[in-house]
Amino acid sequence: MEETHVGISVEVNGRPHRSTVEPRTLLVDYLRDDLGLTGTHIGCDTGQCGACTVIVDGQSVKSCMVLAVQADGAHVRTVEGLAQDGRYHAVQQGFWEKHGLQCGFCTPGFMMQSVQILEDNPDPSDQEIRDALEGNLCRCTGYQNIVEAVKAAGATIRSGAETMALGTGVGA
């Protein structure tokens, strides 16, 4: 079987990786199984749920719809790479403060898509947010607090305010 494997090099969250994969390996399986980055989840087998959303070269994609070999030479950003310099990303903070997650299984995908939404437009309306989340499914929240979370994150980004440090408690 070895002769069918292909070499790829991918930068994930700023770190370079060289790997050999079967051509049929999906990017999501490569991230989870080969690199151990299990924050990216799998919720379906038809490209519907968005739990696997990551950002490849600045564009959010469903990593179950991309082969690992297609990411050769690309920069990939996953949920593990959202927090920077010991601080939460504004989107993470928004989801935390607005109770934008319950079981948390869909959350990494929603957050990566939300990063994309706010990069495209840091001040979206409720309906724009709902429409832009078309490719992500959540079974727990009914979406209302996810919309609030994205709005809160947009406000944080627009204000340039510092986000919470990792390790911050609930403060109560």
Determine if 142 is a binding residue for ligand FES (CB under 6 A): no
Determine if 141 is a binding residue for ligand FES (CB under 6 A): yes
| Span interacting with ligand FES, options 9-17, 69-77, 98-106, 148-156, rule CB under 6 A | 98-106
Size of the site for ligand FES (CB under 6 A): 22
Residues 56-75 that bind ligand FES (CB under 6 A): 62, 64
Distance separating alpha carbons of residues 29 and 124, to the nearest angstrom: 32
| Span interacting with ligand FES, options 29-37, 101-109, 116-124, 161-169, rule CB under 6 A | 101-109
- At 54, the amino acid letter reads V
C-alpha distances in angstroms, 142 versus 15, 26, 106, 119, 148?
36, 29, 12, 24, 12
- Both tokens of 42, joined, read 């799998």
CB closer to another protein out of 10 and 141 = 141
CB closer to another protein out of 33 and 73 = 33
Q: Which of 122, 123, 96 is nearest to 111 (CA)?
A: 96
The H-or-E segment that residue 7 falls in is strand 6-12
Determine if 112 is a binding residue for ligand FES (CB under 6 A): no
CB of 101 to ligand FES, least distance (A): 5
Radius of gyration of the chain (CA): 16
Give how far the C-alpha of residue 118 lies from the chain's centroid of Cα atoms, to the nearest Å: 13
CB of 151 to another protein, least distance (A): 13
CB of 93 to ligand FES, least distance (A): 17
